[in-house]
């Protein structure tokens, strides 16, 4: 090869490795397969290595706000396995720059170069990896450094979100400066405290008529002091009895029908580039199955810059392998709330009230355990003149329920979820009923 050509190629490669904006352009996402509409925002997807020794790399997807993204905060969205909420954000005007993260390694498209590294996940390593991800991600997107930053998530992210918030606060304190400008966090239907989560779960299932009186009593005897993740044999037996009594319903949304769709037809429509209703207003009980089909399409993974050689062989909404091999998991994160609330962070907890996995009763028990003074009493909040749910404000924490929503609130009630996130980001209370004059 001509020496001058060689030096030119090396120079180009070095410029890309040193210039974060060049890497941003490599991560830019073009039009998605099946997308029959134009969007007015930019989005990026790719990987950030969080551990050089093992080659652990976490997959991210950034959706910038559609209007003046430079003036909007950055919101990190974490989940306990599900990724289907991206569809919701495509269908609404983005009021923030939203950063989705596949975490921990082995979830979604995230991977490790070490075989079976996904079998060694736990809360501590996940928090450390997520912090490292953010520190490296801000180097790639320096325009976001110093921006108001919030963390949100649902389900097992009830652990991830406060743990990462704690890690950021401690990292900033250790360095004597604000490295990451964390302003607050919000979690929904969140695993928080095993004792209260179980107590509220059993009460919820019994109160809506899902289980018998006898099973309700046995659950409280054999499971009340159990880990929500690692249960004992006697507790498992009673849980199996409860499962039989409950029958074939969607525990994540107890009043909606389960999925019975034909996914071969869905896949064919995608390949024919026909409109298939990926983005919809009404709740689709088959969203999880649609997502599995969609994110396993080679053309989708190509557009999202997925490293097919390294990432899990099949994209799944939840990784049973990761779940079954989970290591450390504290029985409560209420101690983190007690540490962070005095710092003045904006902390909100929301709950869809038709979820029977981590129901509203569980969340209420956990909040009550904090013994926070009430600053604004229990009341209904409204969306377009209709009760959207209920809310109560405490000293340092706001609680919001979303009426008729299941475990994944943005999936079940996207309009109300948008009202929720806008209220949270603006720091305003949930809307009251507006009085309309007859004049």
Catalytic machinery residues: 155, 355, 407
Nearest Cα residue to 40 out of 72, 62, 69, 66: 66
DSSP string, 8-71: HHHHHHHHHHH-HHHHHHHHB--PPTT--S--SS-EEEEEEEEETTTTEEEEEEEE--SS-GGG
CA distance 160 to 326: 13
Q: How far is CA 85 from CA 3, 215, 220, 274, 316, in A?
A: 51, 34, 33, 22, 14
SS3 call for 159: helix
Question: In which residue are the tokens 């997925």 written?
Answer: 306
Distance CA 164, CA 330 (A): 14
Residues 6+ apart with CB under 8 A from 420: 350, 400, 402, 409, 430
What ranges in 184-303 are assigned the alpha helix state H?
Answer: 194-207, 213-222, 233-246, 263-271, 287-295, 298-303
For the chain, what is the total number of helices (H) and then of strands (E)?
Answer: 16, 10
């Amino acid at each position: 090869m001509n020496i001058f050509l060689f030096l030119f190629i090396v120079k180009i490669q070095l410029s890309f490795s040193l210039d974060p904006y060049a890497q941003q352009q490599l991560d830019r996402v073009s039009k998605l397969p099946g997308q029959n509409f134009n969007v007015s925002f930019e989005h990026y997807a790719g990987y950030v290595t969080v551990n050089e020794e093992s080659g652990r790399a976490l997959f991210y997807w950034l959706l910038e706000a559609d209007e003046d993204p430079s003036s909007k905060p950055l919101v990190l969205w974490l989940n306990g396995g599900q990724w289907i909420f991206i569809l919701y954000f495509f269908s609404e005007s983005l009021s923030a720059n939203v950063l989705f993260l596949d975490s921990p390694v082995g979830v979604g498209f995230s991977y490790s170069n070490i075989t079976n590294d996904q079998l060694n996940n736990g809360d501590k390593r996940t928090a450390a990896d997520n912090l490292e991800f953010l520190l490296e991600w801000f180097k790639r997107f320096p325009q976001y450094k110093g921006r108001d930053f919030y963390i949100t998530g649902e389900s097992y992210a009830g652990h991830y979100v406060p743990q990462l918030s704690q890690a950021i606060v401690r990292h900033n304190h250790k360095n004597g400066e604000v490295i990451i400008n964390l302003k607050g966090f919000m979690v929904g239907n969140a695993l928080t405290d095993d004792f209260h989560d179980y107590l509220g779960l059993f009460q919820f299932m019994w109160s809506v008529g899902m289980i018998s009186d006898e099973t309700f009593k046995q659950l409280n005897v054999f499971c009340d002091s159990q880990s929500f993740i690692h249960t004992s044999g006697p507790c498992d037996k009673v849980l199996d009895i409860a499962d039989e009594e409950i029958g074939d319903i969607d525990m994540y949304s107890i009043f909606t029908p389960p999925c019975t769709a034909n996914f071969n037809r869905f896949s064919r429509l995608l390949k024919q580039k026909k409109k298939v209703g990926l983005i919809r207003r009404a709740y689709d009980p088959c969203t999880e199955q649609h997502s599995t089909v969609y994110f396993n399409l080679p053309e989708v993974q190509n557009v999202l810059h997925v490293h097919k050689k390294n990432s899990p062989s099949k994209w799944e909404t939840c990784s049973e392998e990761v779940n079954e091999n989970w290591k450390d998991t504290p029985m409560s994160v209420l101690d983190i709330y007690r540490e962070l609330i005095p710092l003045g962070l904006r902390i909100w907890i929301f709950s869809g009230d038709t979820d029977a996995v981590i129901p509203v009763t569980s969340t209420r028990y956990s909040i009550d355990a904090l013994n926070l003074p009430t600053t604004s009493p229990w009341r209904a909040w409204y969306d377009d003149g209709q009760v959207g749910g209920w809310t109560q404000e405490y000293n340092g924490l706001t609680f919001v329920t979303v009426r008729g929503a299941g475990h994944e609130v943005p999936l079940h009630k996207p309009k109300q979820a948008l009202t929720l996130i806008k209220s949270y980001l603006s720091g305003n209370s949930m809307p009251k009923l507006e009085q309309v004059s007859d004049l």
